[in-house]
Structure 1
Amino acid sequence: MSDENDVGEVLAGICEAAAQLILPLWKTGLTVHAKADESPVTEADRRGEALILEHLGRRFPGVPVISEEDASEFGTPEAIGPRFFLVDPVDGTKAFVRGDPNFTVNIALIVDGRPVAGAVNAPPTGETWFTQGGRAMKRVNGGAAQPVRVRPWPKGKAVALISHTMKDETRQKLMDEYGFDLPEPMDSSIKFVRIAEGAADIYPRHGPTMEWDIAAGHAVLEQAGGSVLTPEGRPVLYGKAAEGFRNGWFVAKGG
């Protein structure tokens, strides 16, 4: 394993390679299959995952990988060591199927329950966010990377990124609880990195997610100066094998 400060850039390159494979399949009317939990999966998910697993196996031999589609088909392990990767080859498959642009490729390195490195790519825009040297970076279409940072909470103009399917009464309850002003529906882990780059302020999630859904975005947001905490203010931890790698509620927040 190379220095963890450098792993994020390696993961960014792998995400970008997967994106090049996935993007030509977008808006092509791919057959949508139902997984055991009734969530959708397409050939893009499967091809992207195969490429990512091949690259990780070559670059980081011996480091375990927990990946969404493999976990869906074969189940999650009963135990996991202190160091492993979490992979979601297409986060936001429903958006991908609808033809919406908010889907992402995600890889995170977990060490002792914390996401120490990660990369998130948005294939339709060519944007990649990744961790490097304790900072969050962004590059577009392979160009020069620039650091990104959360913005201070803009009183009266705070933007919350929420689910497309959120009911009006739930949205109002969250507005009252967290004090944001402008709810904006958005799919996938791109919510984390939009907060990380200062384009939004909060993502309250009072609903189920899996560890691979959020770990990469969590890593980027944290190194951009933000936080991902439980509603009680405790850290969100990873490697919860006993819970099938499911997350509880959390709040992702900028400055």
Structure 2
Amino acid sequence: MSADPQNIGAVLADIVEEAGRLILPLWRTALTVDAKADDSPVTEADRQGEILITRLLAERFPDIPVIGEEHASEYGTPDEIGPRFFLVDPVDGTKAFVRGDPSWTVNIGLIQDRHPIAGAVCMPASGETWYTSESGALKRVNGAPAQGCRVRPWPQGQAIALISHTMKEETTRKLAETYRFDTTLAIDSSVKLCRIAEGSADIYPRHGPTSEWDIAAAQAVLEAAGGTVLTPEGAPFLYGKADEQFRNGWFVARGG
């Protein structure tokens, strides 16, 4: 369960929802799409969202440094970082955002001693927000009272794996042989981990590159819901990899 004794996740939930309200009117508009150094897309929605989130975090948590995807893309990641910091991805799933698909998210995760201890993920197009609390993972929809989230037991013969839209059939088949899931569902962004957290799916094997800000918030939520995010070998999945520009290795997110 997430160690969020101060219920920081509730504050982060308010912030991601405020950023979502800023970004949502820009969705499905004729935004200019630029290419970052790694050729991944970036839009004005990403930039405006990160500026707002960074300002709000500075107001509420002035002593905790923030590493945001867009700032890191433009200016580089820090050479070192302390034990406690925020990771921000203002629009995870920018490709989906640009396509007009709804499965993009706003994310803030709090890292302590290399592990995400609090986080919030908002999917503005659906009005869904998942976040950590002292009692576990919570979800609210369009501002309604939050309800608890919990992973489901592995459903023998009916296990659902979440994959990316670009995954090749051969890769999917190999992953099914390794992880023994039965069906797949393609969906973008960190919402995959949140779907597992709420018991809508069972596993997300990621054998490919990501960055720490892509999944920190959602990992906090999933673990608060009783799930895990580990390396394929079963080792803890660690954060604060400044010497690797905060890039992730492979991981496997699981429910019950």
Which interval holds the TM-score relative to the shorter structure? over 0.9
The aligned counterpart of 2:171 is: 170
What letter matches 2:129 in structure 1? T
Question: SS of 2:12's equivalent?
Answer: helix
Whether the 8 Å CA contact 1:12–1:120 is kept in 2: the answer is yes
The aligned counterpart of 1:38 is: 39
The aligned counterpart of 1:226 is: 227
Q: Give unpaired runs (5+ residues) of structure 2.
A: none
Q: How many residues align?
A: 253
Deviation (angstroms), 1:65? 0.4
Distance in 2 separating the partners of 1:167 and 1:138: 32
Show the 5 A alignment for 1:83-122.
Answer: 83-122=84-123
Does the alignment pair 1:75 with 2:110? no
1:206-246 CA-partner distances (Å, limit 9, x unpaired):
00000000000000000100000000000101000001100
Deviation (angstroms), 1:4? 4.4
Question: SS of 2:119's equivalent?
Answer: strand
Does the alignment pair 1:19 with 2:27? no
Question: SS of 2:7's equivalent?
Answer: helix
Deviation (angstroms), 1:143? 1.2
Deviation (angstroms), 1:6? 1.1
Distance in 1 separating the partners of 2:107 and 2:32: 22
Whether the 8 Å CA contact 1:92–1:104 is kept in 2: the answer is yes
Q: Give unpaired runs (5+ residues) of structure 1.
A: none
1:42-87 CA-partner distances (Å, limit 9, x unpaired):
0000010000000000000021000000000000000000000000
The aligned counterpart of 2:149 is: 148
What letter matches 1:107 in structure 2? I
Question: SS of 1:29's equivalent?
Answer: coil
Does the alignment pair 1:252 with 2:247? no
Deviation (angstroms), 1:5? 3.2
Distance in 2 separating the partners of 1:148 and 1:6: 16
Distance in 2 separating the partners of 1:77 and 1:102: 30
The aligned counterpart of 1:126 is: 127
The aligned counterpart of 1:194 is: 195
Whether the 8 Å CA contact 1:4–1:116 is kept in 2: the answer is no
What letter matches 2:163 in structure 1? I
Deviation (angstroms), 1:165? 0.4
The aligned counterpart of 1:180 is: 181
1:110-144 CA-partner distances (Å, limit 9, x unpaired):
00001000000000011000000040000011110
Question: SS of 1:199's equivalent?
Answer: coil
What letter matches 2:202 in structure 1? D
Say what the alpha-carbon RMSD is for the aligned residues: 0.7
Distance in 2 separating the partners of 1:47 and 1:163: 26
**TM-score normalised per structure 1:** 0.98
Distance in 1 separating the partners of 2:158 and 2:190: 22
Distance in 2 separating the partners of 1:10 and 1:141: 16
Whether the 8 Å CA contact 1:105–1:122 is kept in 2: the answer is yes
Identity of aligned residues (%): 69
**TM-score normalised per structure 2:** 0.98
What letter matches 1:83 in structure 2? R
